[in-house]
Chain A
């Protein structure tokens, strides 16, 4: 058994990580801060990458990294939506999990330097985009206009609300949020994300803009269509895809989407590359 474990490539062997902080974000969403429990070096990663979180004897789930790439802690924001994540939700500060990663291709934050940047998120899709936001804000002078456009189900479902409000207070950033429905106490916008873009696109030069998009696929579909209508080329629109990822290294084929393995070739793709299979109902 020991010999077999030593033969496994590092990417297949979970490292122990300890939960140093748990923060409740929404009724079914929580954020962990993690540190290595093996005394090894902290994980370095690029915005948009993900880790496989492993619960001994239960299973493993792919979860995007949602923290600051230059920060002290490794941060994951997780929705309790299945057997593994339901149990992850019950873990507390000091508990340990297994972690493999980081995996995948992230957001093109370096390639986007010099461009206007539209960051478009829906629901929990703000979590994988947050590292990119931190990076862009930490290197603000390298980018043109920057806007964050976020949609959620209701005002109570707005993720990272305090942070959104703080970002909104900056003079070098446009931040707009909208919800699908609200009661009359909500003073913000109601409507869908593409409508936000419609209202804000005049702040950007579409031809030289880069859009980073993450959310439910339906939301991304409508967003891509709106950005295309506004003149942002498909090659400059990046979407983060989600499929049933198991091995995370492109071996098992569970997350294969046409010619692409979401875990290895993605999860972030320029839309022109993924477009041929994006609308395929069979995949």
Chain B
């Protein structure tokens, strides 16, 4: 039988919080809750309020873009140990794409309003959170640039 672990302990196990001291992590843990999604469930959908983000503990999530008249396009897949969503950080706090569970997903969601409040209340906590988000955002930007280059397409001659 699996024992339900406190959120703080689950945060401590997640790579996103690696190296964060107990104090800030426990402070943040109050914004978190356990979530389970079944394959096909949406963690969030484009345009909906981005009121939280997800630390994926188990399973796989597809980030999808919807274009009218076309099949949805999967642009990234996220696995255990990764995070889903940063629109909660930036106004107008709306999701910019869909996130769909492709397997059973266990995650911790952190409430965006609660977390923004704590970051305002204690800027050192805000710094710790942003310090962890920036590499994630930079990594995704770099990946998107590579995808845009279409490096595996038929080579075009240099003009």
Most buried by B among A188, A190, A222: A190
Cβ contact within 8 Å between A187 and B152: no
A181 touches B147 (CB 8 A): yes
Interface residue stretch chosen among A47-55, A150-158, A251-259: A150-158
Interface-centre pick from B74, B149, B154 (highest chain A CB count, 10 A): B74
| Cα(A126)–Cα(B106), bound, Å | 35
Is the Cβ of A192 less than 8 Å from the Cβ of B102? no
Residues of A contacting B77 in the complex (Cβ-Cβ under 8 angstroms): 178, 188-191
Among the stretches A107-115, A213-221, A260-268, the one at the interface with B is A213-221
A181 touches B74 (CB 8 A): yes
Looking at chain A, what size class is its interface with the partner chain?
20 to 34
Contact of A180 with B by CB under 8 A = yes
Q: What 1/0 flags go to B117-138 for Cβ under 8 Å of A?
A: 0000000000000000000000
Total contacts A to B, CB within 8 angstroms? 72
CB within 8 Å of B: which of A68-116? 79, 81
Whether A123 pairs with B147 at a CB distance below 8 angstroms is: no
Q: How far is the CA of A254 from the CA of B73 in the complex (A)?
A: 41
Q: How far is the CB of B143 from chain A (nearest CB, A)?
A: 5
Known contacts A28-B154, A81-B155; A187/B102 CB under 8 A: yes
Q: Is A199 an interface residue (CB 8 A)?
A: yes
Whether A186 pairs with B143 at a CB distance below 8 angstroms is: no
Apart from A81-B154, A152-B152, list 20 A-B contacts with CB within 8 A: A28-B154, A122-B152, A124-B152, A157-B152, A178-B77, A180-B146, A181-B73, A182-B73, A182-B74, A183-B73, A184-B71, A189-B79, A190-B62, A190-B74, A190-B75, A191-B143, A194-B143, A215-B151, A218-B149, A222-B142
* 18 residue pairs from A and B, CB less than 8 Å apart: A122-B152, A151-B152, A153-B150, A178-B77, A181-B73, A183-B71, A183-B74, A184-B64, A184-B100, A186-B74, A190-B75, A192-B147, A195-B143, A215-B151, A218-B149, A219-B146, A219-B151, A219-B152
